[in-house]
Amino acid sequence: MVDDTSDDDYIEDYDELTEAEKIQIIKNNKCKISVLRNLCREWEESNTIYREDSNSLEGMLKRQKELQILEEIVETEKENTKIMINIKKNNPNSDKIINRLLQMD
C-alpha cells in the first residue's frame, strides 16, 4: 500500500481536533502499544520452536504474524509522534503537555 499523503498533510488533519481529543488519541494509542508489546512477548515465548525452524511453512507464518504485530506498534508510534508534532506546531507553549504524554506508559 502506497501512502501518497505527505507528512505535512497528515499533521494538518489533526488541526480539526481539540487538544483534549489529540491527547485522548495518544492515550488510547499508548494503551494499544502496551497491549501489542505484551502480545508480541507472549507470541515470541510461545512460538520459540517455530522461530528455530523458520524454513517450515508454519514457522514462516508465525514469523509473519510477529512482524505484523511489530509493524502495527511502529505505525501507532508514528501516529503519536505526528499528533505531538501537531500539538507543538499549534501551541508552541505545549512542552508540559508533551512531556506529560511522553511519561505515560
Give me the pLDDT at residue 53, please.
62
Q: Could you tell me the residue range of the domain that residue 36 belongs to? A: 20-103
Determine, yes or no, domain membership for 37: yes
Specify the long-range contacts of residues 16-20, CB closer than 8 Å, at least 24 apart. Answer: 19/87, 19/91, 19/94, 19/97
pTM: 0.69
> How many distinct structural domains can be found in the chain?
1
Q: What's the pLDDT at 5? A: 46
Q: Does residue 11 fall inside a structural domain?
A: no
Residue 70 lies in a domain: yes
Look at residue 78 in the predicted model and tell me its pLDDT: 93
For the segment 49-67, what is each residue's pLDDT rounded down to a tens digit?
555 666 777 777 877 888 8
Position 1 in a domain: no
Q: Report residues of the chain scoring pLDDT below 70.
A: 1-12, 47-54, 101-102, 104-105
Instruction: Classify residue 78: in a domain, yes or no.
Output: yes
